[in-house]
Amino acid sequence: MSKAADLARGDRQSWAAPGAGHDRVIAALRILLPCAIGALVAILAVAPLTMGRDISFVLAKDRVEVARERLRVADAIYRGEDSKGQPFAIRAGSAVQKSSRDPVVKLANLSAEIQLADGPATIGAKTGRYDMDSEKVYIDGPVRFDGPDQYRLDTRDVEVDLKTRQVESGGAVDGQMRLGNFSANRMTADLAARTVVLDGRARLHIVQRGGR
């Protein structure tokens, strides 16, 4: 092209002329860009395996504020019905259930009320556990039964089945009833019939009061 034509073109036109700057840039890029893409893909493919430090985090159980039990209730009342359809209620100063899988509720200062044929009866204890599935109360430590006609039975470490109103001692037991205080290897009591059966080296100390 003539000198005059070259001078007539602006800088940008001359940069865009065939074989000039622009074409050189494009030629370079035609090679560089695919290589860059290939390299990037390679890096992405290899990166997870070579990455040393695991940047994901695990929620540390002990460091996070975890509630120890699933259910904590103050002044709990649990109502149910026994085999005869009569209502019973268990009141507790505090009731704690460890987890949903565990049907046992740990009770403190518990008092249960059951209906007997001739009147209400109450069962009071400091600590106990209530199994919601079997509807049994396991008393740890002393327990007092009060029933109609001044029926009273003091003993400890017994299992109370609220459905059948039967009481059973796990092992050796001692206690007091109006007839006197007793001790035995095993005790079962029927709150409804108000009978107490003592088995195995059973002893009864009867103190007589009242003039003859």
Q: Is 122 in the site for another protein (CB under 8 A)?
A: no
The Cα–Cα gap between 188 and 185 comes to 11
**What element of type H or E holds 26?**
helix 21-50
Residue 92 C-beta: closest distance to another protein, Å: 28
Q: Which is nearer to another protein, 3 or 209 (CB)?
A: 209
End-to-end CA gap in the chain: 149
Q: Is 193 in the site for another protein (CB under 8 A)?
A: yes
> Which residues from 139-158 bind another protein, rule CB under 8 A?
149-151
Query: Cα 65 vs. chain centroid, distance in angstroms?
Result: 15
Among 1, 5, 31, 206, binds another protein (CB under 8 A): 206
Query: Cα 89 vs. chain centroid, distance in angstroms?
Result: 23
Among 23, 75, 81, 199, binds another protein (CB under 8 A): 199
Q: Is 172 in the site for another protein (CB under 8 A)?
A: no
Contact 123, 160 (CB under 8 A): yes
Q: Which is nearer to another protein, 104 or 177 (CB)?
A: 177
Residue 200 region, left (φ>0) first, then alpha (ψ -120 to 50), else beta?
Answer: left
Q: Which is nearer to another protein, 127 or 181 (CB)?
A: 181
Q: Is 9 in the site for another protein (CB under 8 A)?
A: no
